[in-house]
Chains A and B, each alone.
Chain A
Amino acid sequence: MVRCRTIIDRLSEYMDGEASSELRRTIENHLRHCRRCSAVYDSTRQMLVIVGDERTFEVPTGFSERLHRFIDQAIAPA
């Protein structure tokens, strides 16, 4: 039986599609049987979907306008 620690240590590799087929099988097999590790895996993946979505984390309102106004004034009058 693979230890949970080993699985957790390799989770990113697995999520990023960099795991060998053997490691992939080992991890998938472990996740099917280990509720703790599968909870960690599912929530991590879920987190990545949320933080990776541009709508979740927007720059401050007006940031772009202010930046380009600044460029206009300091550098490059349009």
Chain B
Amino acid sequence: MSKSDAFLQAGKTAVLQNIHGTMQFLQRFPPFNQMENTHLAYLVEQCQLRFYAPGESIIRPTDGPVEHFYIVKQGRVVGERTHTGREEAQTTFEITTGECFPLAALLGERATRTEHRAAEDTFCLQLNKAAFIKLFALSDEFRDFALRGVSSLLDKVNQQVQQKAAETLGTQYSLNTRLGELAMRHPVTCSPKAALREAVRLMHEQQVGSIVVVDEHKAPLGIFTLRDLRQVVANGLENFDQAIDLHMTPGPFYLSPDHSAFDAAIAMTERHIAHVCLVKDQRLCGVVSERDLFSLQRVDLVHLARTIRHAPRLDTLINLRGEIGQLVERMLAHGASSTQITHIITQLNDHTVCRVIELVLADKGDPGVPFTWLCFGSEGRREQTLHTDQDNGILFEAKDAAQAAEIRQRLLPIAQQINHHLAACGFTLCKGNIMAGNPELCLSRGEWGRRFAAFIREATPENLLASTIYFDLRVVWGDEQGCAQLRRSMLEQVADNRLFQRMMADNALRHRPPVGRFREFVLERKGSDKATLDLKVQGLTPFVDGARLLALANGVEANNTLERLRQLVTLEVIEPLDGAAYEEAYHFIQQTRMQQHQLQTRENRPYSNRVDPDSLNQLDRRILREALRQAQRLQSSLALRYQL
């Protein structure tokens, strides 16, 4: 009789008794206190209980990809990281009873970056990876917890890796996935002279809904889909030996593998097609079908984006704003990351702006001069939330001052109309009047260039403030050439001007993250904001300002804060571990901020970036504190770099 069979059943009660004890223990801590009993029992049943003596290593970077999930049952675990070039290890975090590790490494299927050691007599519950993945799939609460990256933050982890893991583990809301990653399988192809029968047999064998007809260089000539087959059969064709090129749809629509899933979704809905070819260097390299996208739950967004792009009147656009809010709410509820959400809001906002411009042009008539619609600030950085001001301008080409003035006169009424309509769509008018309808923001490329040069040359407080807004410029509508030239010249000037950089650094240190020396938050003491902190100004701004300064000083063209940080890591301006930690921290603060906004909307409260740390749960409070501490680290590295 096998060992397991014999007493498996009878031993159940005993197992349950000890498991019950362990469950009771776990139920004192998140996320275990929120998990269903059956899931928690499953977790405990799959656990081993291990002891570690003080100083004993539990996991370390050299162990290779992490194979277990640990919960501290009693004792204390410290994370130690040895910095390159330094001998002694630095303690980076402490994990105590009821806390878990190493989530990020486990989700990222990589080795931990930090050595975890027992600091005292320590017992850990150890769960194997297979059971972890199963629980991840079973329990929403557990998945939520794991993805929010609790100890991942402490673990200083790269968010990208986590999102990748989320995909393999079954949740996926990302619209910015590269199409190349979605088109997993080899495309099914045939030559134009292949018999219809042969092509259909291939489709049947490969279980696909389309076949791409290619020439000898693999360039796509046409596509034949099940819909075409239906047509062929309906037409009463009897000779299935005819060549396929007589029945295919010639000149199929294609995108490059670097386009995003969102692009493909938009193309499909706009063109009423169900397949998009992926072409690189004129060679077919994949096919993405509607099903590939819809399995990723993009339906809502696709529908919304399409409706925006085709909105016949302004009223339609105004009504759609509410739907965007609902979409964001749903995505937050489903655990989408703040990065994904800001990206989606930016995309939808961009679509709205484009549609408003198109509607105004249709209404007022074409002004006869090409112009480019620019946006600045958070919109320029693609970091918009639902509550956003207008920060925009117009760029056009002119030979000289006289022509510039003349064009300006023609464009201003249109710009003002656009500003006005955007306000109706929920983009609040800018208090500082940074709007295209303002003559000072409707400039030729030469005028913009001179204005930017003045900001850099004369570092007055006003100019510094202006540079933090204008230097995050981006094109929303129109030709991108002029803006690119403007940016390149601006980057060159900043790189050459050490004094300006130093002033910007000084400016970036204005807002100190509200964490004190003794692990507490430093909160507002007076007024209606008593005992709160500002997530935007005190939490996000240090990252945004720091990333902007380093990006401008090092010729990084990206606008987005996270993208800037990533490129700065590639350029070895900041250390990869620091970059990952900043990214993680920024991400968490943004996420908290958006959750606050959603909560305020639901409770009909005015929208505010201020949060009372005591209103957060213990876990979120702790992560927030760690995140703010990362902002502090970034600031002190700036202070060191610019000797402030």
Whether A and B are associated in the same complex: the answer reads no
